[in-house]
Structure 1
Amino acid sequence: MYSVFLVDDEVVVREGIRNSIPWDETEYTLVGEAPDGEMALAILKDIKPDILITDIRMPFLDGLALARIVKKTQPWIKIIILSGHDEFSYAQEAISIGVEEYLLKPVSSGSMLECLHKVAGRLDEEKKQRNDAENLKRRVMSSNDIMKEKWLCDLVSGAASTSSAMEQAREFDVDIVSQVYAVAIAELCCEKTNSTELERAKSIIESLASASEGILCFSSGVDTITFIIKGKDGDTVEESAYSLAQGIKYETERNTNSLISVGIGSSVNRIGLLPQSWSNAKSALKYLSATGRNMIAGVNDIHPVTDSAHTDFGADPVAVRLRHATKQDIDCIVEQYSGILNESGARQGTIAYYLLYDIIVAARKLALEFGGSHRDLFPEDLQPGDVSALADSPESFRAEVRRILERIVALRTAREGSGHDSVIQRAKRYIQEHFADPDISLNTVAAEVNYSPNHFSTVFSQESGETFIEYLTWTRITRAKQLLASTSLRSSEVAYEVGYNDPHYFSFLFKKNTGKSPREFRTETPPGGE
């Protein structure tokens, strides 16, 4: 399936495209729409569609300006331009930006589908090329490329002085000059150790980075890629770093079997301070590795630690894993332990006993560290026979591991919560209070909690398990269901009450999320039923 996002300031055009194409019968999903480029840009950061359909002439931010920004920040998105102007200059500029198709209005459903099929074909062809193992094997680095990578590694690690770095930058024809810098490191993890899979992932990452403005990218290890992000100020660099991290993680993980963790260092204002940012990025990666989480984290995102035991990642790997586990990690951890059991063959019962014993010992220590006691986890004192009984079957083993993890997470949350808990709660509270405002967006909520948009988008989705748009839509649809069940407001009035200026788009979203139209929902729901 290919996800499609639509931008046009004319309601009748959006309705025409939305209603004339039988989306459920095609390989395309209409994931959202916006009335102007500025509003679209904020949503695109969250939704990350495959295809963008946009009008040229719109208020606030026109289609060509939107296309330029999208090609820099989300270069994998294919863009179709709609225009009511048969002017060569528009088409010429669209081609220079890298737009895939240019359609003149009015557009029939047949023409639009034909255009979508063309773009989908290009997406398939690109994927096929990335999967071509023979092409990957023929990627041979020149001696100049190898020397360039060595220089960049020396630059970020501090092995090269500023003066020699500037001299070599001229030799390699690399623009290294900037007002502010930050270093980010991406670490790849393949489910199967496979050099071809790693090369595929690296190829995607390098392609995205090369299409992004102000990014220097180089391989810094078998499974790591390092980035130098340049910008005019700290906010710009942070926004670019999180945008890049989101893009490479999204594209690589959906096109390969690799998982990616990205550590982002602090902003620095001199080339000579790049090693400081590089060290920060490594610390963030080390934290992610220790907690077993394939995520994106800046040095300021990792949880502050005051106890020396928290920084000793090698002391007790089970305790480290439990200490930093979140609700979203529980299923993954349980499955990983189940996997170990499945591979243990005839020794499954013995392995289960020792695994569970280690978890119990680590959990008891953590309960004390979090200000509780072992009775918060185990009301009755466990005896060896009890542990043996719990480890007797895979089902009881998994259930007990899950129960312990849930209690540990609850204890830690009660004491201090996630480093981002207060930010997420403030953001959700703001959304709950302002969801009826049609102009609420990722940008406005990010500003409310003093985060850059891409940083906030990353943190919100990772900590909440859903994107900002998904949570906002859920909030609006939930309120709409209440209004439909308890008032006599017309569907269009309900739409306005929950923040949608376009009643038809509200009906489209309502049915997409509930499986029923607003009218069907009201008919089938008894008064006060929601």
Structure 2
Amino acid sequence: MYKVMIVDDEPLFRDYMRSKLDWASHGFHICCEAANGREALEEARENRPDLAFIDISMPFIDGLELTELLKQTQPDISVVFVTGHSEFDYARQAVRLGAQDYLLKPFNKVEFSTTLQRVKRTLDERSRPSFQEQIPPQKAENLGVLPFDVQETLILTLRMREMDAVHEELSRIWQVIHKMDISISSARGQSYLEAFIHLCRAYIIESELNPEEVWGTDSTLEQQRQALPSWEEALGWIAELFSRAVNYRESFRPSKSYQLFTAAKAYIQQNYSDSELTVEGVAQALYVDASYLRKVFRKEASISVVDYITYIRMKEAKEILLTRPMKLSAVAEKVGYNDPNYFSKCFKKRFGLTPSEFEQLHANKANPE
């Protein structure tokens, strides 16, 4: 059985986790408990748990910092955050730190069971080659690291309500999985599907909505996922979940705020090539205060206006590099950068490759030897 550590500063919750939940039927047992981060570090050193359920808000050392410290000495430990916070920023930090999942209090036994099943699959698969290791070197450059890079791209496109971009990203990932010849019914295949479901759930929670209202109960979702006969069917199913989440969110947005957000997006998309484009300029064009526009963007998309301008510029630069030959300086100027070196730096930060490397990579794909 896999060993579990419970870390929470509420004694009643630790008692609930210890006595009311069926760990053994899932292949786990509780090896230790801790009321704060300091105690957790000591218990982890002594007991070497395979899985840690960690509360985020704790005295001395919070859950995020604790996870960083645990990963330094035990990098393979699986972490699930258990928290009452619904802000997606916590979930994003959890992903960055290597957390596998999170549960929002109060959770039910179905959610608990589903999470344990996901974790157990990961622990069972630990000795097998990773997703990245299975991809040929030239393909690995295209995919990046699934748990973070892909999530960042998909979350951003979901926030922007750009379903075409979501479909494009999903199709790219599906192509790589298909070439790896992974069965959709295998544990690894199901793990990838769960990763996309988890990401969609995080987006829904970020939008302050209830996932069950968007797509039904977790048990129903599990049944649908397990019944998928092929990757082609799975692609359509995942895309539909994402589309449903976006459409459901929009139906709950205040009209004035959303209208301003939409108008600002349209203005930026029309004027991104202007190197003098600023938040103040966008706000002035729409006859609103710049600080109010910033608040609207944060509310509607959890992104700054500046980051959205950069996002649009990088998206257009990528399209140019993929479709027509052009000098780096010309590409930079066309998407609003006077300095080609700064443009190249921004592009690499966004895509992991310089514009020249990106262009060469796709040229090689189009003309294999």
Shorter-chain TM-score category?
0.3 to 0.5
Higher relative contact order (CA 8 A, sep 6+): 1
TM (norm. structure 2) is 0.36
Higher percent of residues as strand: 1
Structure possessing the higher radius of gyration over alpha carbons:
1
Higher percent of residues as helix: 2
TM (norm. structure 1) is 0.26
